[in-house]
Amino acid sequence: MPAIEVDNLVRKFGDLTAVDDVTFQVEPGEVFGFLGPNGAGKTTTIGMLCTLLRPTAGLALVNGFDVRTQQAQVRQSIGLIFQDPSLDDKLTGRENMKFHAMLYDLPNDVLVERSEQLLKMVDLSERADEVTLHYSGGMKRRLEIARGLLHHPSVLFLDEPTLGLDPQTRRHIWDYLLTLREREGVTMFMTTHYMEEAEHCDRIAIIDQGKIVGLDTPEALKGMVGGDIITVRTDENERAAERLQQSHGIGTRPGPDGALIIETARGDKFIPEMMRVFGDGDEALTVNSVHLRRPTLEDVFIKLTGREIREQEPDKKDDMRKRVRLWRGR
């Protein structure tokens, strides 16, 4: 049985279709990335899977429970870790764990044993009795991960789990997450704006304008780009693009800072040929720079959506945070 099963899921807000006939599955123990630009439908989809929003149409099962008719069972079987810290900074780490456990009616003996196990796993045992006001951002995030696992959820939803943290702390957080997957067998459904982090995912779904436009492993998605990426800057990009089209039938697309982007199977062999084309004739083009690299997930994202990934709009985030607070206080 899939950990998450979504079939023709739709969510409308008036005349706006935020999620449009979305279908995918997440297997048990999988790290599943969910990426998309602003307004693409990421937050709305997660909201439905966590029972914070009711679907307009379609089916969504989490751990076999229907998000429409079995909301209590869904909530009991999932953990939520959202972008903004939600700890009580007047409580200690251990007290935050205890307070969260009350929402799930965990017996005290189970709470004590489970808390110690998780605090040790995220390297917070020695700081557990300190007030979280004095925790670093990385420590707070590690505590939230531990807290989200107190009740043994089989699916963990993570919204931007490392946003705002320094690179070293982000790397450590991912070490903890991958260890959790190995030890606990937890399925992880996550969003991130860091493309290098998305490489950790077993599979990635890219959503745009409410529809899934790509779904596969990171390597398979990068294979969609079409080979090597050449970034070239000339004094006349329009003429450069025309010459490449006429001589080799190769199209280009605009890149950052006035560059041209070229996708080709063997970039190392094509660059000398490109330079010859630019230098032919009485009006040779001046080439200012050439850069060759392998495709990245960022390239895939831009190819499929036409946009660079960027942060979620504040109003949608604020709305979701309000819903999460209501969910926690149910």
Instruction: Quickly state the pLDDT bin for 156 (edges 50, 70, 90).
Output: very high
**CATH 1.10.357 fits domain 226-294:** no
Average the pLDDT over 305-326 and give the result.
Answer: 53
Tokens of 68: 């429409």
> Contact, 193 vs 162, CB < 8 A?
no
How many angstroms separate the CA atoms of 63 and 234, rounded?
54
In the chain, % of residues over pLDDT 70: 92
pTM: 0.77
> Contact, 174 vs 2, CB < 8 A?
no
Instruction: Quickly state the pLDDT bin for 183 (edges 50, 70, 90).
Output: confident
Residues found in the chain: 330
User: What pLDDT, on a 0 to 100 scale, did the predictor assign at position 14?
Assistant: 94
What is the C-alpha end-to-end distance of the chain, expressed in Å?
A: 28
> Contact, 165 vs 106, CB < 8 A?
no
Any idea which fold 4-217+313-328 has?
Answer: Rossmann fold (3.40.50)
* 107, 134, 164, 171 from 167: Cα distances, Å: 38, 21, 9, 6
> Contact, 67 vs 49, CB < 8 A?
yes
Q: Which element (helix H / strand E) includes 81?
A: strand 78-81
Query: What is the per-residue DSSP string for 5-17?
Result: EEEEEEEEETTEE
List the domain boundaries for the chain.
4-217+313-328, 226-294
Average the pLDDT over 130-149 and give the result.
Answer: 92
